[in-house]
Amino acid sequence: MMLLSGSVFGQEDSVVQKDLGEILINGLHLDKKKQSREGKKVRFSVIPVAPGSSGGKQLAVSAVSAAFYIGSPKLTKLSSISFIPYTNFSGTGGFVIRPNLWMQENKWNVTGELRLAGNYLNTYGLGANTKPEAETIVKYSQGRVYGIINRRVIASFYLGGGIDLDYFYNIEEQNPGMEDSDFKKYGIGTAGSVSSTGLLVSLLRDSRSNSVNPEGGFYTSSIYRIQGKDFGSEHSWSSFYFDTRKYFSLSEKQHNILAFWFLYWGTYGDVPYLNLPGTALDFSSRTGRGYSLGRYLGKQMLYGETEYRFDISANGLWGGVVFTNIQSYTELESEKFEYLKVGAGAGVRLKFDKKSNTNLTLDFGFGRDSFNVRLNLGEVF
């Protein structure tokens, strides 16, 4: 599989900064192609990606990420669209499209996701104290359409609304011998298929100039989702998603950033099992480095992460990060947060495209009795 990134810009390159495209061109002595690259507003680069790069079990991933300005670069934030097809070459796979668009002078912001997939989830029941021996494998197919349109109210504050359509089908537990599995006992959205249709209300504050690789600013998103039978859902439930991030630049000369991330995700009512909050099941699919997808689930989730980002090379080509995170989920019986799970790790950064400040990120995460590797385009948060 291949990893592909494109960017659309009109401004000149910095003299001191380097990116992967320049290194490859210079190394191959392709001077004419370098001149052509410098003069184009649309540029693409290609990198191979090995299986297992996403942190899943032998999951091969490719990604197309485009960064561009819809309006004047001086008055408008950087927009991006990601296209992520994936497969494990054994019957599961799909694709995800995620836009984050900023209109002229940032008056409107459009975010969302389109997902078509056939997946499996290794799940262990609800709460943050589940045991490995409780593992059960759930296969399912999913179609999802999610979108929010935000309108600026004042300064960096936006108010918006949207829709969220989720349809899970071909739901099947792969180890039926476990008659008393927590998945079966939960009983909501655990057999055959389940649909959820709802409305979204959004409150957004985003003072970051570049969401792909923030170097300062503040981000807060609050999304209330209501699912009801009047909208076409099979079950009545709701959720509240609160995501806040803060970035501090520690140097005027180098990329030296201290970043903080806090997330609360609560669900209420008859929530289908596959709609529950969980590790790496958030909107960005990037929580819980050090743990596998869906390792912990619960009706409510608390999450925090801190990361220190720094340059390794003076030209910005190579960088590094160290991070730590913590997650907790309400227990099924007490409905309280009782246990904490800590993850930590380090990663390297390779400047993929200096105009959009996009990095190729490779992270090694450790959790309790757990380890994984994640490869992405763009910073984790």
Position 38 pLDDT exceeds 70: no
Tell me: the pLDDT tens digits for 200-219? 999 999 999 888 899 999 99
pLDDT at position 252 is: 83
* Sequential DSSP letters for 141-193: EEEEEEEEEEEEEETTEEEEEEEEEEEEEEEEES-TT-TT-HHHHH-SS-SEE
How many percent of the chain have pLDDT more than 70?
A: 82
pLDDT at position 26 is: 64
Mean pLDDT of 284-299: 94
C-alpha–C-alpha distance, residues 207 and 219, integer Å: 6
Q: Which residues contact 334 (CB under 8 A, 6 or more apart)?
A: none
Domains in the chain, ordered, with CATH?
Answer: 2-377 (2.40.160.50)
pLDDT at position 80 is: 87
pLDDT at position 299 is: 97
pTM of the model: 0.86
Angle at 295 between CA 294 and CA 300, to 5 degrees: 70
Mean pLDDT of 141-157: 96
Which amino acid, 252?
E
What's the DSSP call for residue 127?
Answer: B
Position 2 pLDDT exceeds 80: no
What's the DSSP call for residue 26?
Answer: H
* Sequential DSSP letters for 245-282: EEEEE--SSS-EEEEEEEEEEEEEES--GGGS-BTT-S
Position 180 pLDDT exceeds 60: yes
Instruction: Return the higher-pLDDT residue of 375 and 250.
Output: 250
HSE of 270, CA atoms in CB hemisphere, 13 A: 13
Supply the mean pLDDT for the chain.
85
pLDDT at position 13 is: 46
Q: 178: pLDDT confidence band, cut at 50, 70 and 90?
A: low
Instruction: Name 80's bridge partners.
Output: 67, 100
Q: 41: pLDDT confidence band, cut at 50, 70 and 90?
A: very low
pLDDT at position 29 is: 56
Instruction: Return the higher-pLDDT residue of 279 and 61.
Output: 279
Position 52 pLDDT exceeds 80: no
Q: 32: pLDDT confidence band, cut at 50, 70 and 90?
A: low
Q: 55: pLDDT confidence band, cut at 50, 70 and 90?
A: very low
Q: 53: pLDDT confidence band, cut at 50, 70 and 90?
A: very low
pLDDT at position 45 is: 38
Instruction: Return the higher-pLDDT residue of 67 and 241.
Output: 241
Mean pLDDT of 162-183: 86
